[in-house]
Chains A and B, each alone.
Chain A
Amino acid sequence: MAVRVIDLPASLDFQTHDALFSEIVEAAGNAVLFDGRHLRWVDPNGMVGLLAAASVGRDRSGEAPILELGRAGDVKSYLGRMGFFRAAEGIFAAGTSFPRRASGPSDVLLEITPITTNSDVHDVVDRVQKRAGAILSNTLGYPQTSVVQFSVILSEVCQNILEHAEAPGWVAAQSYNWSKRLGRHVVIISVADLGRGFRGSLSDEHSARFADRWGDVTALEAAFIHGLTRFPDSGRGQGIQQIRKQVRRWDGLISIRSGTARIADVPQWFDAPPLEEGLSDFPGTQINIILPERADHED
């Protein structure tokens, strides 16, 4: 079987993982080697995206991909602290040389956490309740009580995996100093699953009324803007709406990529279209949330 080599960029984050998804889609049924020797920087979207891409590669080719990392210790060390290698077990080929799991105290807000059951969501909330308070208030300048809203956001995005994807997924969060990009600190939350995506989830209930307009864009708009859900229960469909509301209050960015489209609430400090279509048809859903430090906050 031919091996498709996919070069990972130096920086793998929410702005570069689309290229990764395109390449894995193009790899079709070929075995995959991810060449990460030039990788110098990776954020939660990059890590979770890499796990998703590798899973897709594995499922389509029947062979677990290989991940080759450079000798630079920083990236490996950071991936270890973020729980990447633990999450990657069973996804990448056994020959992939992963360093031992990091131990000791960690500054990580939320390591990459697989979401497969209700219990996983509780674990996520328990962990961020213990860790997020200081980061949100000291680093981002949010009110002390914001840790509760932050936990609720994580709970709702993780439940989105369980209730709509019907497939496993991952969540991760970390804070960064975006001194060059924004001149402020940010917290990034990344969630991804390999399920049926918004179009698949909503299709049975809502596709008929959209007729031939039905597709990834209309499905995303239906859920993101109008709060539609596949459940007939009128109490459903609030999660994404409430996440958007809270992210807006914090002047943050939220984007959801599903199938071939991406929809976003874009704050003034960032330049991106609110809707993109014609992207590579990648399975599942990827949610990216970026919460910036309050503009008037000083450490």
Chain B
Amino acid sequence: MRTEPGIEPISIDVGRVLRGTVESLYSHLVTRPTGRAVRLAIEEQVAASSRTAVSLIDLSNVTVMDFSCADEIVAKLLMRFLDENRPGDVLFVFRGVRQSLHEPIQTVLERQELLAVVQGSDGCCALMGTRTEEEEYAWTVLEKHGRIVAAEVKEVFPESHHREVLDELVLRRVAFTPPGDHIYHALSTLMGGTS
């Protein structure tokens, strides 16, 4: 998979971050202070990038994540980078989300009305969180295409409300358009060689 020019892929192994933070003796993502420490460590890593970055948050080594940690590491992390005053221009894809992590993640996303891109073990991406049928449709079409250039948008999305939804997905940061450029990118195309 190629990396889009100007996009920096960053891979973060959350299990390693957990062991590398002050909570070095802990092996599970439980309790809010632990979640907060891990989130701050992730923020520090990704905010160091001066360019737009796609961060692959790898949860493969996480067995247990409680709701407090999911709120910190997923919901609050996304909210921090949705904010106008975000510390950097970073988009997120979550990987290695085993079945036991689905519920805490889905719950905190729904509670904050957030949307996240999750990559399955087969490499395919999907949405998790709060979304409408139109958002799911527009995102799925974009994901299938990988990228849609401005000239193709009307052809791919003949109905105007789907085009509006596509822009909404960009604002929700589950799709990307470079500033001043009307090319819509699926986040999966921006991850480059992150592994």
Contacts and interface: CB of A to CB of B under 8 A. Distances in A.
B63 interface: yes
A150 to B, nearest CB: 10
A238 B107 contact: yes
A268 to B, nearest CB: 24
Given A122-B34, A238-B107, A242-B103, 14 more contacts: A122-B26, A129-B28, A129-B64, A145-B100, A148-B64, A149-B100, A149-B103, A152-B30, A155-B64, A156-B66, A162-B31, A163-B32, A234-B112, A236-B71
B31 A159 contact: yes
A281 interface: no
Interface string A142-184: 0001001101100110010011000000000000000000000
Contacts of B104: 152, 242
A242 B103 CA distance: 10
A235 B112 contact: yes
Interface residues of B, number: 28
Interface of B: 23, 25-28, 30-34, 63-68, 71-72, 75-76, 99-100, 103-104, 107-108, 111-112
A162 B108 CA distance: 21
Given A122-B34, A238-B111, A242-B107, A156 B28 contact: no
B100 A122 contact: no
20 contacts: A121-B30, A122-B26, A125-B64, A126-B28, A151-B30, A152-B30, A152-B67, A152-B104, A155-B31, A155-B64, A155-B66, A162-B31, A163-B32, A234-B111, A234-B112, A235-B112, A238-B67, A238-B71, A242-B67, A242-B103
Main secondary structure of the interface of A (DSSP, over half): helix
A122 B31 contact: yes
A239 interface: yes
Interface residues of A, number: 23
A230 to B, nearest CB: 14
A66 B71 CA distance: 45
Interface of A: 118-119, 121-122, 125-126, 129, 145, 148-149, 151-152, 155-156, 159, 162-163, 234-236, 238-239, 242
Contacts of A151: 28, 30, 64, 66
Q: Which 7 A-B pairs have the closest CB atoms?
A: A148-B100, A235-B71, A155-B30, A155-B66, A152-B66, A238-B67, A122-B26
Nearest to B65: A152
Nearest to A231: B32
A156 B33 contact: no
A118 B31 contact: yes
Contacts of A239: 67-68
A156 B72 CA distance: 14
B118 to A, nearest CB: 18
